[in-house]
Amino acid sequence: MTHISDYLQQVEGQDEQFIGTIAFRSEEETLPDGSKIALGIDDGCWVLVHQIDRQIKVYEYNLYKKKILLDKNPGKTEEINRFFELVQYFFKNARVEDLVTIAPPRF
């Protein structure tokens, strides 16, 4: 089984124009801590939905402005750090085989 972080190391170039969402393909799939993450990327706007048990948090990070919203409320450095921790945790632990990528049609 290939983890996202292992897969990304094999990719020679990254699509800087990627727009889409990476999520688990099944409701039964989770990360080792039992949580679920979906990550949406649209240029410099990253949206991460993190669910553990019944609690859901939504992080909206603007890469260019280096600003974050957590559940529509402005966040600070702690929330930015937590966002990146969750992204790294997702990349290190989610297996490519358990994920689906949803990309909008290109015109």
Tens digit of each residue's pLDDT, the chain (107 residues): 555 555 444 444 444 556 788 899 998 999 999 999 999 988 788 999 999 999 999 999 998 899 999 999 999 999 999 999 999 999 899 888 888 988 776 66
Q: What would you report as the CA-atom Rg of the chain, rounded to the nearest whole angstrom?
A: 14
Token pair for 61: 């990070």
Q: How far is CA 64 from CA 45, 59, 87, in A?
A: 8, 15, 17
Sort 102 into a burial class: Cβ within 10 Å, 0-12 / 13-18 / 19+: exposed
pLDDT given for residue 7 in this prediction? 42
Q: Name which of 24, 42, 43 is nearest 34 in CA terms.
A: 24
pLDDT given for residue 83 in this prediction? 95
Helices marked H in the chain — which ranges?
Answer: 4-10, 77-93
Domain residue ranges of the chain, discontinuous segments joined by + = 4-10+18-101
Distance CA(42)–CA(72), nearest Å, equals 18
pLDDT given for residue 79 in this prediction? 97
Say if CB 15 and CB 100 are below 8 A apart. no
Token pair for 35: 């949580």
pLDDT given for residue 15 in this prediction? 47
